[in-house]
């Protein structure tokens, strides 16, 4: 099963560099995450996240990608539920 998800358009996100909040979208990029099986079949979450401009002129970052809290792990290809299941074995 494939689950399509995306982050909301109208939420301001803090830049990891200087913390300036931004909602100015440069583009979108996709993340493909393995999820815990449902009904004996593996699930995949296709998550669309935004790449945003940092509007703080003192920040060295020009753009940054928003991070999602909860269901994902940073730099991981698995959901946090699947990660917990695999580490419990």
6 falls in which pLDDT band (50, 70, 90)? confident
- CA angle in degrees (0–180, nearest 5) for 38-43-49: 135
1 falls in which pLDDT band (50, 70, 90)? confident
**Domain residues of the chain, as ranges?**
2-88
Residue 2 or residue 70, greater confidence: 2
Q: Tokens 């695999």 — which residue?
A: 86
- The answer to whether 49 touches 27, Cβ cutoff 8 Å, is no
CA distance 28 to 30: 7
24 falls in which pLDDT band (50, 70, 90)? very high
- The answer to whether 29 touches 49, Cβ cutoff 8 Å, is yes
Mention every residue, 6+ apart, whose C-beta is less than 8 A from residue 39. none
């Amino acid at each position: 099963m494939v689950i399509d998800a995306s982050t909301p358009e109208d939420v301001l996100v803090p830049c990891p560099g200087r913390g300036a909040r931004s909602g100015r979208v440069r583009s979108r990029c996709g993340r493909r995450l393995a999820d815990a099986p449902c009904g004996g079949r593996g699930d995949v979450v296709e998550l669309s996240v935004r790449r945003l401009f940092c509007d703080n002129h003192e920040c060295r970052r020009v753009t940054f990608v928003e991070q999602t809290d909860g269901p994902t792990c940073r730099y991981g290809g698995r959901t946090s539920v699947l990660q917990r299941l695999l580490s419990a074995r």
